[in-house]
Amino acid sequence: MKTIKLNNGIEMPQIGYGVYQVSPDECERCVSDALKTGYRMIDTAQAYHNEEGVGRAVKSSGINRSDIFIVSKVWISNYGYEKAKASIDDSLRKLQTDYIDLMLLHQPFCDRYGAYRALEDAYREGKLHAIGVSNFYPDHLIDLASNVDIVPAVNQVETHVFNQQTEAQKIMEEFGTHIMSWGPLAEGRNNLFSNETLTKTGNSHGKSVAQIALRWLIQRGVIIIPKSVHIERMKQNLDIFNFELSDEEMAEIATLDTGKSLFFDHHDAETTKLFMSWR
Ligand SMILES: NC(=O)c1ccc[n+]([C@@H]2O[C@H](COP(=O)([O-])OP(=O)(O)OC[C@H]3O[C@@H](n4cnc5c(N)ncnc54)[C@H](OP(=O)(O)O)[C@@H]3O)[C@@H](O)[C@H]2O)c1
């Protein structure tokens, strides 16, 4: 399994399995399948309401806890120092573990400084082995990374062939923060699975469109967490380390960038209001 060394020396797998929109009932089965398939990193969040399913699957897998890398995220309704601190303990309980490998702040809204200080203290206590953020675009990341003791190890942002985040990635690198993609397959939006360039490239390597889209991110050094509830797709998404895209192919896929989100614009007033309704 290819790993990425984070800014505190911790190694994390470059590919993992994401469980957003996997129902609490189905989560245990999906994570068990993912672990059987060979995934060793699982990405969940308080807001997905399925940390218990992840915990049960990890526990029953028979795999050493130290061989599985668990990522979770603190939701904005738990921001502020005291609430975030209590929510970390709650996540540990639901995940049935003494430590979480990487804990992120899920969104750049509300009392994120109070919440981040809770992550820092839990890191110092050994409850979290690495800490970071998610959806922090350059303005928010620069602000936070410049004003905390422990620079975020990771920033998980929407990153796929249609929203490539190349400039944002450079800024993260300036701070020693590693880019992690959510939505590496763009959830299939913008007809990703029938895209002409990706289909043509896939045909020349005997690989699927999904494998090309994921391989392109891997070659840029991005950490990825594709989600599928189907075991055959889980296998397919992991089977991307036995071929390489050429410089020309990388460059051609780079032209698919629209520089825009297919989901949320975190700087849009209506989006911000929507997040406030989820506090
Ligand atoms: N930090 C954040 O704010 C944030 C936001 C969104 C997501 N995330 C994380 O990122 C993970 C991945 O993102 P995502 O779940 O939004 O989307 P995604 O991984 O880009 O795409 C998932 C979709 O693609 C389909 N799919 C997966 N593999 C496929 C394949 N090989 N061929 C055809 N279709 C395939 C899945 O369908 P089936 O399941 O039916 O196979 C599902 O509809 C999440 O699970 C979550 O852990 C984080």
Decide: 188 in ligand 1 pocket, CB within 6 A: yes
**Which of 24-28, 78-82, 102-106, 170-174 bottoms out in mean pLDDT, i.e. has the lowest?**
24-28
Question: Could you read off the pLDDT of 74-117 as tens digits, one per residue?
Answer: 999 999 999 999 999 999 999 999 999 999 999 999 999 999 99
Alpha-carbon distance of 246 to 69, in angstroms, equals 30
**Which of 93-97, 120-124, 234-238, 265-269 bottoms out in mean pLDDT, i.e. has the lowest?**
265-269
Element (H, E) at 5: strand 3-5
Strand, coil or helix: 211: helix
> What radius of gyration, in Å, describes the C-alpha atoms of the chain?
18
Question: Could you read off the pLDDT of 189-204 as tens digits, one per residue?
Answer: 999 999 999 999 999 9
Give the tokens for residue 250. 């990388």
CA atoms within 13 Å, Cβ hemisphere of 24: 9
Atom of ligand 1 nearest to the CA of 193: 33
Band the pLDDT of 1: cuts 50, 70, 90: confident
CA of 137 to the centre of ligand 1 (A): 21
Total length of the chain: 279
Decide: 223 in ligand 1 pocket, CB within 6 A: no
The per-residue pLDDT for 217 is 98
Candidate from 185, 190, 229 with most ligand 1 atoms within 8 A of CB, to mutate: 185
Decide: 230 in ligand 1 pocket, CB within 6 A: yes
CATH of the domain at 203: 3.20.20.100
Alpha-carbon distance of 264 to 268, in angstroms, equals 8
Across 249-259, average pLDDT: 98
Catalytic residues: 48
Atom of ligand 1 nearest to the CA of 181: 10
The per-residue pLDDT for 74 is 98
Residues making up the annotated binding site are: 106
The per-residue pLDDT for 4 is 98
State which residues form the domain around 82: 3-277
Residue 34 confidence (pLDDT) above 90: yes
The protein residue whose alpha carbon is closest to atom 27 in ligand 1 is: 228
Decide: 108 in ligand 1 pocket, CB within 6 A: no
Strand 178-182 relative to strand 154-158, pairing: parallel
The per-residue pLDDT for 269 is 95
CA of 43 to the centre of ligand 1 (A): 11
> In the chain, how many domains are there?
1
Give the tokens for residue 221. 């050094």
Answer positive or negative: Cα dihedral of 3, 198, 184, 187.
Answer: negative
- CB atoms under 10 Å from CB of 139, counted, come to 12
Atom of ligand 1 nearest to the CA of 107: 3
Band the pLDDT of 25: cuts 50, 70, 90: confident
Question: Could you read off the pLDDT of 47-74 as tens digits, one per residue?
Answer: 999 999 999 999 999 999 999 999 999 9
Across 154-166, average pLDDT: 98
Residues making up the annotated binding site for substrate are: 106
DSSP bridge pairs for 13? 3
The per-residue pLDDT for 149 is 98
Residue 233 confidence (pLDDT) above 90: yes
Is 221 within 8 Å of 249 (Cβ atoms)? no
